[in-house]
Amino acid sequence: MEEHMEEMRVSQTIAFFNRTVELCFSDCVHSFRSKKMDDTELSCVNNCAEKFLRYTMRSSTRDHDRAQENEMRESESMKRAALESSEHTLKNFSAAYVER
């Protein structure tokens, strides 16, 4: 199971980098007259990739934070439900004991 998850992470990482290269290359490289990219193209590709990575990291961090918040809310809700259930059980037990 863990091995499968690791394979999926590697696959997603490769797909992410391939997509970044594809997007930045298509946005920045418009001429194929030379084997090498010129300074403008290099700068454009570097800026594009950096921006894409920053956005992805920020987005990932926000998603992670939201997931943690949801998890905390769910945990608090479960604690409240357990407490209410315990109180209800205690009241029923007390009422049954008093009736005896």
Where are the domains positioned within the chain? 2-73
Q: How far apart are CA 42 and CA 47, in angstroms?
A: 9
CB 24 within 8 A of CB 43: no
Helix then strand then coil, in percent of the chain rounded to 5, is 90, 0, 10
CATH code matching the domain that covers 2-73, chosen among 1.10.287.810, 3.40.50.450, 3.40.1160.10, 3.10.20.30: 1.10.287.810
pTM (whole model) above 0.75: no
Per residue of the chain (100 residues), what is the pLDDT tens digit?
Answer: 888 888 998 999 899 889 999 999 999 999 899 999 999 999 999 999 999 889 888 988 988 888 899 888 888 888 887 777 777 776 666 666 666 5
DSSP state of 29: -
